[in-house]
Amino acid sequence: MLKISILGSTGSIGKQTLDIVRNNKSRFKITALTANTNIQLLCEQAKEFKPETIAIADISKYGELKRMIENDIRDIRVLSGREGIVEAATYENTDLVLSAIVGIAGLEPIYNAIKERKRIALANKETLVTAGGIIMKEAAKRNVKIIPVDSEHSAIFQCMGNDRNNISKIILTASGGPFRTKTYKEITKATVADALNHPNWIMGKKITVDSATLMNKGLEVIEAKWLFDISPDKIEVCIHPQSIIHSMVEYADGSVIAQLGVPDMRLPIQYALTYPHRIEASGKKLKLTEVKQLTFEEPDLNRFPCLKLAYDALQLGDSACIVLNGANEVAVNSFLQGKIRFTDIYRLVYSALEKHKITTVSSIKDVYLIDNWSRNVSKELLKKGGYS
């Protein structure tokens, strides 16, 4: 029985992971769960799955959560804060850690889990965007397997198998988001509701906005560079509106291997939990006769410049990728709060990158220092309106 810690169990990926566990109780055992602020749902999950440890990131919620747990459940250890999340990630009675925490908050727990030689199912792309070199080096040193949960990277992982020597390029597919057919003028008037209306996927708010700007695909390009040890010029993005082909690998002889499936995150999540084996899934399966057609387009970098910005940051170096990610988190949060327009997300991130001087990144501490600088600069730019 595989013992699992889920970091971010109350979010979209976390809840879908628990669906899989619920349907495969003889295979999986939950030993730790963590959440950011949602103590009500965390408590409900604890009642159902009976983990040995739970943790809430928001320290102010610790007392209430502990009282709720003690009233209903005994023998569960309750933790809080960054230290609590890290402790859940490194819990000794855990085989696999699934990281579904949003943003750079997922970095420290995963780094420490790798140091404890835990197998990693990675749904938090920011971990590799901000510290890819450090994370992959540590994983290699500890002989830790990192299995991608993102549907695109899972697809590439499956298509590659053990043959990584004859790859000419990898092709990341993107749905194009809710604004794929909109003009730039229409995009400038986009509301939060418009941006969150993704045509194919049900995801958290931050990743849904990132999908609308195509920044999500840019972050995936950076993530792919580290996961698969491949140069950026061999990573291509292709718009595929049906979201049936999740990504492809082209080999030196011209063969293109693709992974297909319905747009359901339970597929890559389950594969990450069972790798290298496959088990029966309870969800809907793909019927190509119902799909009828698969279409492909070039990404329009004029309407969606965030994708190019990610390629540029990757070319500039590791510290630029950290700034890109931090500024984007600030920008997306401001957009969701109605403080800036949709198209200002790109302008703010671009302006933060312009102010950054490339520096060497050799430790997790360096990552957090640069990330903090990026967020402070971005907030200052927002305050002064100094982005163009």
Report all structural domains of the chain as residue ranges with CATH numbers, in order of start: 2-144 (3.40.50.720), 151-263+286-305 (no CATH), 317-388 (1.10.1740.10)
CA-to-CA distance for 262 and 276, rounded, in angstroms? 21
Phi and psi based region of residue 300 (left: phi greater than 0; alpha: psi -120 to 50; beta: remaining): beta
Tens place of pLDDT per residue across the chain (388 aa): 999 999 999 999 999 999 999 999 999 999 999 999 999 999 999 999 999 999 999 999 999 999 999 887 778 999 999 999 999 999 999 999 999 998 899 999 999 999 999 999 999 999 999 999 999 999 999 999 999 999 999 999 999 977 788 999 999 999 999 999 999 999 999 999 999 998 887 788 999 999 999 999 999 999 999 999 999 999 999 999 999 999 999 999 999 999 999 999 999 999 999 999 999 988 889 999 999 899 999 999 999 999 999 999 999 999 999 999 999 999 999 999 999 999 999 999 999 999 999 999 999 999 999 999 999 999 999 998 877 6
Q: Parallel, antiparallel, or unpaired: how do β-strands 245-251 and 235-239 relate?
A: unpaired
pLDDT attached to residue 151? 95
Residue appearing with tokens 């082209």: 250
pLDDT attached to residue 201? 77
pLDDT attached to residue 165? 84
Residue appearing with tokens 């994708």: 307
Residue 21 half-sphere exposure, CB side, CA atoms within 13 Å? 25
**DSSP-assigned letter for residue 385:** T
pLDDT attached to residue 373? 98
Element holding 34 (H helix, E strand): strand 28-35
List the one residue out of 199, 176, 195 whose CA is nearest residue 263.
Answer: 199
CA-to-CA distance for 130 and 135, rounded, in angstroms? 9
Phi, psi of 2, rounded to the nearest 5 degrees: -80, 125
List the one residue out of 259, 252, 253, 218 whose CA is nearest residue 236.
Answer: 218
The rounded Cα 133 to chain-centroid distance in angstroms is 17
Each as own residue / partner, the long-range contacts of residues 191-200 (CB below 8 Å, 24 or more positions apart, any chain) are 191/342, 192/335, 192/336, 192/338, 194/342, 195/335, 195/342, 199/175, 199/241, 200/175, 200/242, 200/243, 200/263
pLDDT attached to residue 388? 66
**CB distance 198 to 178 below 8 Å:** yes
